[in-house]
Each structure stands twice: as structure tokens, then as C-alpha cells.
A and B are shown apart, each in its own frame.
Chain A
Amino acid sequence: MHLLNVYFFLFSISVVQSFSNKNHTNNWAVLVDTSRFWFNYRHVANVLSIYRSVKRLGIPDSQIILMIADDMACNPRNPRPGTVFNNADQHINVYGDDVEVDYRGYEVTVENFVRLLTGRLPPGTPRSKQLLSDEGSNVLIYLTGHGGDGFLKFQDSEEITSQEMADALEQMWQKQRYNEIFFMIDTCQAASMYERFYSPNILAVGSSLVGEDSLSHHVDSSIGVYIIDRYTYYALEFLEKVNPQSDKSMGEFLKVCPKSVCISTVGVRKDLFNRNPDNVPITDFFGSIRPVEVLCDLSNVTLLQSKQLSQEEAFKPKKYRYIDPIVNFNTIKS
């Protein structure tokens, strides 16, 4: 009897294991730039770098939620309108010719961000502004902006604390809105933002430890400000070499910016994550690779005949007309 119990116990464990190890079915990305004003150009370049990479690796625009707090590409101060570059040599136009920003300007608020993650959006919110993820979704969350110990500033006027962030993710987990999360943050004291996470299946990486500043990479003299942050610059450099078929792992991505180049220490938190990052393909979070099964047995679908005839029978000619383009002043005057 005991033996049977143990057997059942083991069986259930293995079922749970296989469930937790099951592959994800879809990919989502939430990319947030929280800084406004021209001198924060680099944060927009950061977030667009990641946007470019995930889009290139196959996540469609409908599954990328891009939040940008200010307009840099068409800013009057931008000497090259309609572009945002990742370096002064203008190697990569990270803004590109095909970009869809879902939340922009004043819409980038803590409230909207938390509502987006937890799915508590007001009725009538368009699909492009919703995170319609499910229990099979791998979600990449990327944040950049100005942070401190335990908070991240939004638009220089409000901030989200690490506790609020952790609670939002827990709510996501409880609502089965993700399978795994890769949380990536490029701010000062970035590690403080993920310290309070307590929900499972989260892999977190931050550009700096608590007490450290995260540094920017270089200045573009024609733009007049720093153009990109170090951590994201090297992350983009790495991601540019990745293609949807490549076998690079998350473990490699976590080592993308050693202290010698980043100056700050990149913080990683793996304890909530079930898998070994070295065995996780980078495309699990940055791409959208789906196993496709081709069905050979075709089913015949008969075309639905619309009731057009009866409509035409009921059709009665009406007399339509254009009205005067402007109100008749003579009738008003009299």
C-alpha cells in the first residue's frame, strides 16, 4: 500500500515536473523607457535596441508592447529626423522604418504599466495596448530609465518601487499570465528592482548592483548628449549576432557585459528560475520560435451563401444628396 502511495507521489511529481518543463507556446515583450526629455536620449536608444532585436528575431509587433516616454526620433533637436542611432558612427538605426509605439508620451505612467502587466485595463483598450499573454507565454520585460535603491522613476514625476514591481509579477503569476519571465533592467542600482521578487520562473538581470551607478557608453557630438547606455550597447552587440536559428543560450547572454567594459557589475538572479540558463536558448525570450505541425488531411469548407438576394429584393432606391458645404448665411441673417 505504502509502495503504491510512493509510486503515485513520484508519478505526480513527474507530471508536475513535465508540466513545469513544458515549452512555452508564445512570446511577448514589454519594453519600457521611463525617461522624458532630450538629455535622456540614451534611454530611448536602449529600449529601441531591444525592440529591434526582438522584432528581428521574430516576435511580431502585435506581441510587443513598446512604451516610450518621449519622442526622440522626430524631436526638433534631432539633426537626423526620423532616426535613433545606437552609436555615433550611425551603425544601426534602431528606430527603423517600421516601428509601432504602443504607449507614448504622457501615457507612460506607473499606473498604465502595472495595469498592462496585470491585465486590469479599462474597457475599450485596443489590442495593441494589451498584454494578452497566457500560461504558455514567455514574457520579456525590459525597463530602462533613472533608478535608485528600490525604485525606478517614471517621467521624472513618479516612481515604481521594487515591492510594487514584485507584487505586479506575482499577480501575473496568479492570473496565469506567464510561463516564464526574463526581467531585464538597465538603470542605476538596477539589482534593487528584482531583489523583492517572490514569484516563480523569473530570471532577472540588472545592469548594476545596489550602490552602483549604471554608466552610459559614449557621446554623439552632433546630438550633444550620451547616445546609449553601456549594458544595452553590449547586449545589442551580442543580439545582433544572434539569428532565429542560432543556438546561443541565455547563460551566454547573462555574461554579455563583463565589469571591464560595463564598469558596473551586472547582477543576475537565478534562484526563482527552474532551468539552468546555460541550457535555455536565447530565442526562448528574444525570439518567437514555434513548433509548426503541418496537417495533411484537408477539410472541405463550403462557402456560406449570403442572403444577398433577399437583401436586393428589399432594396428600395433612396435619394441621397450632398448637403451644402457651409451653413447658409442668408437664412441666418434674415
Chain B
Amino acid sequence: MKCLIVSLGILFICHLVHSYEGTITEELLIKPLYSEQVYTHFQFSTKWDIDPDKETFRHSPLFPRPLGEIVQRFDIQELHVTLTSGLWRYEKWGYPVKDAATGVEVLAWFKPGSDVDKNWKLLANSLSGLLCASLNFIDNTNTIKPEFSFRPRGILESNLLNNSYVRYANLPHEIVCTENLTPWKKLLPCDSRTGLASLLNSGHIHNTRYHSIGLHLRPVCRDKSCESMSLELQQTVSLVYDYLILGTKNWSLRKLFGQGINRKCVLVSKSDVYVDTTNQDIELEPPPDETVTSVRGGQVTTLQKYIVSNQFLNIYAKFQNADLVSLNLPPPLHANQYLSGYGQERGGIVTKIYNNHWKQIDVVLMQNIPWFIPIYLHTLKVTADGRDIKPIQLRYIPARQRERPTYLEVLLTVPARTATSVVIDFDYVFLKWQEYPPDANFGFHIGSAVISSYLPVARNYTAVPWDGSLISDSFNASRSGYLVEVRTENLIITLPTPDFSMPYNVICLACTVVALAFGPLHNITTRKLILKSKRKVLLIERIKKFLFSLKKTKTE
């Protein structure tokens, strides 16, 4: 009986899949990095052949309904949310499939004509409920509307862009833990029981150097003609495991994730694992189903492909020569950010952009600086090799206290083989007593800068091209350029913090002083003071008096 029900259920699901116009694909890319790490990137793509403008999102068999409701209610064109812990080291690791800054980043494009400010706040609230993060702290005080960075990744009908429909905010202090992964996993079609998602066990995710959870939603072309839309949702997880933490360089799925892949998720149309073996002397066990060679922008990549079936799969990688370390060329463009200055009065934010390419590169530097760090635009200085560089364009909206952050976007041409530094000075300010967080002495975060560029070469580049959806679309995908959105480190500054016990101390001290002063004052003001003259009595007079008194007594 039970079997019958199960089989009926499966039939029903199969029926749903067939009647449903859309596909789900899950992919896992494993890339041993040149340094002592291995990078794993999960991507679950749901493509739904509907017109987002007409769909009510009431019936969404494969697409997560909570997200559909959000899309519909808040008139969302495009949405990108990432929750990240740790820092992606561009210099050593190359470029990730999806760039993400430490903490939380939310980027949304709204449909033209919608009430963007209201929808943005409500969207942040809804996402905070959906992902169990404090995204409700996103409001006008930390949101900017970038003009050059973060252009829409999905399709548009018109070519005209209006940055009043884009909103970007980051919360650099947000932590990421199992509580964010749990609701994220619930958006997957097969939950976390089967398929690649079964590898995502919290105990094996948080012992990594870097982990990033993402939700990326955009409209894409339904077919080649691109006359109708589809909605694409990409759920991604990026993890960087350190060989030191793993204890060995020879990794396996079980070692990385605690278990192998048991079964394929029935709803998924394609489930593949790719292992990048470029310039790596790795022996893989079991042997791969296919070997893919990809030539992209002059870079040759060798990938081993495994097709996940209903058989148990545990990929085991053994380095033939563990002592051999391959040299890594740093990527064409990477960046750092740090604080300059000393003392508690003035400081500066320095963003260093390294161009390792032989040609100059055009970049867009975007910064979202909190309002409590007032910066001075006249101190903005861009130098490379001691020479001043004039920005091509500058967009700047100064902060307004407690209302909006500083928005700065600089378009630059970075000279070849140099480190260009962008310096801007700021002041340390006092906040109101109630505005300090409970752990004020920890410091205050400044979010990462974002450096966007369209690179001419694809060295160390793994991202999926603009017009593709899957990791497999990035194979042999040579384009005129390769977009990178490099994130820098977050900064922590220690604002002058008052002694929070001060009010209590002041009350105690003031009361003591009042009490001490009150007694004498009370005495002085309530008692009547009379002056009493005191005449000096001479000794002879005293004797006289005494004798007189004796005489008196005798006569008596």
C-alpha cells in the first residue's frame, strides 16, 4: 500500500514536472586553487518559462513560492542577495563564480513606475524573514543608487537605464551561520535530502575559510530569438576549504562535505559535478564520465565531468606529487582597502587597485560609506606611481546625518602594471548616546568598495557569462570582455566611544555633592545668627569683682 502511494506520488511529481514549463539544474564546480585551498561552488538554477509581469505566482510547482510572492508584491525586476563570511582573496584565488562582499549585500532593480522607496524597505523586511538575517536594518541610511556599477544582468526591453530604480545596501557586520542556510535550503526543490544539496551539512560548511550563500533572480531570454521572458533563479553556495583544516591535500566529497551524493533529485533535469584539473596533477577516483576542455579568452581549462545518477557518488582526488606547488599568476585586477591616519580626529580610506595586465584598464570604483563617517571630497586623490590621475567621471552624494550615506562612484583608467591608490579623508564624529550599539567598543564597519571592470582577458576567471545561466555555459564562452566586480575588505573604525557608565557616575557624584552642600546651606539659611559682643575683662577688675562678691556674702 505504502509503495503504491509513493509510486503514485512520484508519478504525480513526474507529471507536474512535465506539465511545468521550466527546468531545474544543479551543478557543482570543484576547483583546487593554486594556494592551499580548494574552491567548491554549488549552483541550483531554476528557469521558469513565464512572463514575470503577467504571472500571479500562485501556482509555482518548482519555483519557491515565498520568493515568487516577494517578486510580485514588490515589483522586482532583478534581485541579488548574498550572505558571506570570510574574505575572498582575489590575489591568490583568482575570481569566484559570484563576487560577494563580507557580510550581507542586497541589490534590487525594481520595475519602472513602482514606489521604489517603500518597496525597498518592505523587501528588506521580507528578506529578513525569509533568510533569518537582520536585513531589516537596511533603510535609507545605508542605501545608495549606483549609476555606473551594478547594471541589470537580466534582459530589458529598452536600452535606457534609470538608476532611480536600483537600490544597493550592504551590512558588513552581519554574521552568516546555519540559521541562514536552513531557510535557504528550504527554497530548493528537493530540500536537502537528495541531489547535490544533500552535501550542504552545516558542520562541514562553517569550518571553511570562506563561505557565501546567494540568491540571484533575473529575467532571461526564453530562447534564441529573445522575444519572450523567463524567470531565472540561481541559488549559489561558495565554499573555500583549507587543506590545513582538512588535514590533507587529497580531498574527497566525503571529506569535504561529510558524505557523498546518494541519489539524484527527481525534479532536476541535469545534475553535474565538474572538477577543474587544469595544471593540477590529480588522479580522480572514480574516473570521470567526460573530460571537457574549455578555451575561453585564451585561457585553457580542463574539467572532469561527473553526471549524478541514482548511484552513490564519492569523488576522491589524489595529488600525484603533493610537494609540487604550481605557480599562480595573480589575476589581472584586484584591490585592497585600508585605513590611514592616526589619532581620534582624522583618518583616511585608501583603496588600492592593482592592475597586473600589460594594458590600462577602465574601472568603476563604488563606495557606500556610512553617514557617521563624514568624508571630504576635496581630499580625494588618485595616484599611480606618484603621478596624479584625473578621474574620468565622478558621482558623489554627500551623507546627511542619520538620513543617507555617502555615495561615491569614480570612473578611472588604471595604468598598466601599477597599483593605483584612491585616498579620501574623513573625520571621526561623536554619535548620540543612544546610537551606540551594545558592543560599541568593537568598532564600526565600513562596507567593502566595489571595483567593476570589463577585463579583456579571462585569466583566473570562472564566472558564468552574461547570456548564460549554467556553469557549463561558461565553457568555451569567449566574449569581448569579462565582467568582474571585485570586493575589498571591510574596514572597522573605532569611533570615540563614551564611558557608558558615565551618567550613573555623574548622578552618584552630583548627589554626593548636593548632599554635602545641602547640610551647611540648610543650617545657614534656617538658623538665626546673632552677633554677641565679647568684652575683654581685665585681671584687676576680676579680682575687684571677686572681692566685691566676698564682701557681699559677708555682709549677708
Residues of the B chain whose Cβ atoms lie less than 8 Å from the Cβ of A155: 438
Cβ–Cβ contact B466 & A322, under 8 A: yes
With both chains docked as a complex, state the minimum distance between the C-beta of A150 and any C-beta of chain B, in angstroms: 17
With both chains docked as a complex, state the minimum distance between the C-beta of A317 and any C-beta of chain B, in angstroms: 4
With both chains docked as a complex, state the minimum distance between the C-beta of B357 and any C-beta of chain A, in angstroms: 15
Cβ–Cβ contact A71 & B226, under 8 A: no
Cβ–Cβ contact B228 & A104, under 8 A: no
CA distance A112 to B381 in the complex (A): 44
The reply to whether the CB of A324 lies closer than 8 angstroms to some CB of chain B is: yes
With both chains docked as a complex, state the minimum distance between the C-beta of B281 and any C-beta of chain A, in angstroms: 31
Cβ–Cβ contact A326 & B392, under 8 A: no
Stretch at the interface among A122-130, A161-169, A174-182: A122-130
Map CB proximity to B onto A297-334 as digits: 1 under 8 Å, 0 otherwise: 00000000000000100010111111111110100110
- Given A99-B178, A326-B453, A327-B151, A319–B203 Cβ distance below 8 Å? no
With both chains docked as a complex, state the minimum distance between the C-beta of A310 and any C-beta of chain B, in angstroms: 11
With both chains docked as a complex, state the minimum distance between the C-beta of A144 and any C-beta of chain B, in angstroms: 17
Interface residues on B, range: 35 or more
The reply to whether the CB of B125 lies closer than 8 angstroms to some CB of chain A is: yes
CA distance A101 to B413 in the complex (A): 45
Cβ–Cβ contact A82 & B178, under 8 A: yes
CA distance A102 to B183 in the complex (A): 11
Cβ–Cβ contact A129 & B500, under 8 A: no
CA distance A211 to B517 in the complex (A): 35
Q: Which residue of B has the minimal Cβ distance to A37?
A: B439
Residues of the B chain whose Cβ atoms lie less than 8 Å from the Cβ of A318: 157, 227-228
With both chains docked as a complex, state the minimum distance between the C-beta of A84 and any C-beta of chain B, in angstroms: 10
Map CB proximity to A onto B129-163 as digits: 1 under 8 Å, 0 otherwise: 11011101100000000001001111111010100
Cβ–Cβ contact B411 & A327, under 8 A: yes
Residues of the A chain whose Cβ atoms lie less than 8 Å from the Cβ of B178: 73-74, 82, 95-99
Q: Which residue of B has the minimal Cβ distance to A105?
A: B134
**Of the residues A81, A319, A320, A332, contact of B392 by C-beta under 8 Å:** A332
- Which residues, 59 to 111 on A, are CB-close (under 8 Å) to B? 69, 71, 73-74, 81-83, 95-102, 104-107
- Given A82-B206, A99-B179, A107-B134, A126–B128 Cβ distance below 8 Å? yes
Q: Which residue of A has the minimal Cβ distance to B436?
A: A157
The reply to whether the CB of B229 lies closer than 8 angstroms to some CB of chain A is: yes
The reply to whether the CB of A36 lies closer than 8 angstroms to some CB of chain B is: yes
With both chains docked as a complex, state the minimum distance between the C-beta of B463 and any C-beta of chain A, in angstroms: 10
Cβ–Cβ contact B136 & A107, under 8 A: yes
With both chains docked as a complex, state the minimum distance between the C-beta of B84 and any C-beta of chain A, in angstroms: 12
- Given A74-B176, A327-B151, A97–B454 Cβ distance below 8 Å? no
CA distance A42 to B182 in the complex (A): 23
CA distance A323 to B153 in the complex (A): 7
CA distance A98 to B191 in the complex (A): 12
Cβ–Cβ contact B226 & A320, under 8 A: yes
Cβ–Cβ contact B466 & A156, under 8 A: no
**Of the residues A82, A101, A102, A332, contact of B411 by C-beta under 8 Å:** A332
Residues of the B chain whose Cβ atoms lie less than 8 Å from the Cβ of A320: 155-157, 219, 221, 226-229
- Given A106-B134, A318-B157, A82–B392 Cβ distance below 8 Å? no
Cβ–Cβ contact B126 & A126, under 8 A: yes
Cβ–Cβ contact B227 & A319, under 8 A: yes
**Of the residues B177, B183, B413, contact of A74 by C-beta under 8 Å:** B177
Map CB proximity to A onto B224-242 as digits: 1 under 8 Å, 0 otherwise: 0111110000000000000
Cβ–Cβ contact A106 & B483, under 8 A: no
The reply to whether the CB of B71 lies closer than 8 angstroms to some CB of chain A is: no
CA distance A146 to B226 in the complex (A): 61
Residues of the B chain whose Cβ atoms lie less than 8 Å from the Cβ of A107: 134, 136-137
Residues of the B chain whose Cβ atoms lie less than 8 Å from the Cβ of A97: 178, 182, 201-203
The reply to whether the CB of B54 lies closer than 8 angstroms to some CB of chain A is: yes
- Given A325-B481, A332-B411, A104–B179 Cβ distance below 8 Å? yes
Cβ–Cβ contact B132 & A101, under 8 A: yes
CA distance A81 to B173 in the complex (A): 18
Cβ–Cβ contact A100 & B183, under 8 A: yes
Cβ–Cβ contact A73 & B151, under 8 A: no
Cβ–Cβ contact B411 & A157, under 8 A: no
The reply to whether the CB of B417 lies closer than 8 angstroms to some CB of chain A is: no
With both chains docked as a complex, state the minimum distance between the C-beta of B182 and any C-beta of chain A, in angstroms: 5
Cβ–Cβ contact B129 & A321, under 8 A: no
Cβ–Cβ contact B157 & A319, under 8 A: yes
Cβ–Cβ contact A326 & B438, under 8 A: no
Residues of the B chain whose Cβ atoms lie less than 8 Å from the Cβ of A81: 206-207
With both chains docked as a complex, state the minimum distance between the C-beta of A325 and any C-beta of chain B, in angstroms: 4
Cβ–Cβ contact A321 & B156, under 8 A: yes
The reply to whether the CB of B467 lies closer than 8 angstroms to some CB of chain A is: yes
List the 5 shortest-distance A-B pairs measured between CB atoms, nearest first. A126-B129, A82-B206, A81-B206, A74-B177, A155-B438
* Residues of chain A whose beta carbon lies under 8 Å from any beta carbon of chain B: 36-37, 69, 71, 73-74, 81-83, 95-102, 104-107, 124-129, 155-157, 311, 315, 317-327, 329, 332-333
With A97-B182, A318-B157, A322-B153 already in contact, 6 other A-B pairs whose C-beta atoms are closer than 8 Å: A104-B175, A156-B438, A320-B219, A320-B228, A322-B154, A333-B392
Report 15 cross-chain contacts, Cβ distance below 8 Å, ordered by A residue. A82-B177, A82-B205, A97-B202, A101-B179, A104-B132, A124-B125, A126-B129, A128-B132, A318-B157, A318-B228, A320-B221, A320-B226, A321-B226, A325-B466, A327-B411
